[in-house]
Amino acid sequence: MHLAAFVEGVNHTTVWRDPRAGDQMAFSSFRHAARTAERGLFDFFFLGQGLRMREQRGELFELDIAGRPDSFALLAALSEVTDRIGLAATVNTTFYEPAELARAFGTLDHLSGGRAAWNMVTSSDAFTGANFRRGGYLPYADRYVRAREVLSACRALWERAPASTAPAEYAGRYVDVRGRPAIPPSPQGQPILIQAGDSSGGRDFGVSVADVIFSRHSGLDEGIAFRRDIDARAVAAGRAPESVLVLPIARIVLGDTARDAAERAREIGFAQIGPERALAFAEQVWGRDLHGWDPDGPLPDIGPDVRDAPVMQGRVQSKADPRATVASWRALAERDGHTLRSLMVEIYAKPTFVGSPEEVATTMAERFRAGACDGYVLSTHLMPSGLDDVVADVVPLLQEAGLFRTGYEGGTLRDLLFPRVS
Ligand SMILES: Cc1cc2nc3c(=O)[nH]c(=O)nc-3n(C[C@H](O)[C@H](O)[C@H](O)COP(=O)(O)O)c2cc1C
């Protein structure tokens, strides 16, 4: 099994206002989280990317905070206080140039002794782009065209020894590079590539280039279905399915007993989705201003306004029909007796594994053995200490079950993800 620790970029998971949370800009917060993951022998430590604070109706999101340090600077610093764990940065392919990216990832790969990874994301919305002068210049359908070109251009630079006679060259529709790279090839050849797009185009891009596919499909049946789809696409793309690791995002809430853990999960969910946040989520589906509705009362008894443009900026929009979504939410609320807010907690803040360490390790192992995934990328509501208990209490159980490494082997991240069988 492979495990990674995820510090989300744009998210409603991290509750920085929790009194036990650290400072979101302090290096010590990230050092604690990365060292915990390394103590747990995780494969990599993974930073999300939020290029702009999210807004809804001109106001900042309730849990969005100013405090998203640049990943390259942060991971370079973390490479000095960790030895073996991989260091992964989420970086958008739409808004940066390949020469910048090849140099930044090549540098990180050198500084860390071959531990760098790049999660290539493609958000192309005009709201994010407004921060980059070009606005929404890239048609939605072309974001993976550009991503492929950016990667091809980076590879041309990474593969080229600086002393070689010919310059690296790549010419595409969206990007061109020509020149000798300013840094030599890295200790692991190239950084590990991670891909998390869920659309058909995203999955095809993932199977054609990625070492790791990061998904939202952490359940048993959905995980198996996703893995099968990825395997079929990999074969069609000429890749061996085992050369593509599938790691779904997961959140773990532990307690001494199943009951304690369920109670903790409920408290965390309500901390993640406050009253305003619950209304903000509902507004995205209703397409209406819901100020004035009681989040702790029943669902609004009006239908969604399907004409309204999406109201949330800075996040990939759901393409589902809002009428169908509202109908399914009403049915769920009626069945389980939800208020609007408790329903939003159920939908947007439900942890993947809740229980005692034994229960959680057993369920993780079952899904892994059933072929639903190759491991998990673990996210937590509490930075920087949210994974301390997982490392102390769950990892040893996975090791006892023979599912997880008991020591680091090999020098690079590629060695950790794809150990050579001797
Ligand atoms: C678990 C998960 C975490 C993600 N984190 C980020 C992130 O931090 N920053 C970002 O810009 N995109 C992030 N994404 C977005 C995707 O990588 C992708 O760019 C987006 O879903 C659009 O691609 P698609 O239309 O092919 O799904 C994440 C996706 C997943 C599944």
What domains does the chain contain, in order, with CATH numbers? 2-257+352-417 (3.20.20.30), 274-348 (no CATH)
| Structure confidence at residue 313 (pLDDT) | 54
| Structure confidence at residue 32 (pLDDT) | 98
Asked if 122 and 202 count as a contact pair (C-beta separation under 8 A), the reply is: yes
Residue ranges of the binding site for FMN: 90, 144, 199
pLDDT band at 62 (very low <50, low <70, confident <90, very high): low
pLDDT band at 155 (very low <50, low <70, confident <90, very high): very high
Residue indicated by tokens 């970086």: 91
The dihedral region occupied by 402, where left means phi > 0, alpha psi between -120 and 50, and beta the remainder, is left
| Structure confidence at residue 140 (pLDDT) | 81
pLDDT band at 269 (very low <50, low <70, confident <90, very high): very high
- CA angle centred on 8, ends 121 and 202, rounded to 5°: 25
**What are the pLDDT digits (tens) for 387-399?**
999 999 999 999 9
Q: How far is CA 45 from CA 31, 115, 292, 375, 399, in A?
A: 10, 10, 42, 14, 19
Q: Closest ligand 1 atom to the C-alpha of 10?
A: 8
Q: Is the CB of 140 under 6 A from ligand 1?
A: no
Kindly tell me the sign of the dihedral angle through the C-alpha atoms of 259, 261, 262, 268: positive
pLDDT band at 317 (very low <50, low <70, confident <90, very high): low
| Structure confidence at residue 394 (pLDDT) | 98
- Whole-angstrom Cα distance, residue 328 to residue 290? 19
Out of 64, 120, 121, 315, mutate this one to test ligand 1's pocket (max ligand atoms within 8 Å of CB): namely 121
- Whole-angstrom Cα distance, residue 88 to residue 406? 22
Instruction: Tell me the pairing of strands 44-47 and 2-7.
Output: parallel
pLDDT band at 102 (very low <50, low <70, confident <90, very high): very high
Query: Is the bond preceding 295 in cis, omega lying within 30 degrees of 0?
Result: no
Mean pLDDT of 93-110: 95
Q: Is the pLDDT of residue 79 over 90?
A: yes
CA of residue 121 to ligand 1 center, whole Å:
6
Mean pLDDT of 401-412: 96
Q: Is the CB of 14 under 6 A from ligand 1?
A: no
Other CB atoms within 10 A of residue 180 CB: 14
Instruction: Tell me the pairing of strands 2-7 and 375-379.
Output: parallel
CA of residue 196 to ligand 1 center, whole Å:
5
CA of residue 314 to ligand 1 center, whole Å:
11
Q: Is the pLDDT of residue 75 over 80?
A: yes
Closest by CA to 364, choosing from 406, 388, 393, is 393
Closest by CA to 29, choosing from 314, 385, 330, is 385
- Whole-angstrom Cα distance, residue 160 to residue 97? 18
Residue ranges of the binding site: 90, 144, 199
pLDDT averaged over the chain? 91
Residue 349's contacts (CB-CB under 8 Å, 6 or more residues apart) are: 12, 13, 268, 269, 272, 273
Q: Is the CB of 122 under 6 A from ligand 1?
A: yes
| Structure confidence at residue 319 (pLDDT) | 63
- Whole-angstrom Cα distance, residue 398 to residue 401? 5
The dihedral region occupied by 353, where left means phi > 0, alpha psi between -120 and 50, and beta the remainder, is beta
Nearest CA to ligand 1 atom 5: 48
**What are the pLDDT digits (tens) for 121-149?**
987 677 777 888 665 667 888 999 999 99
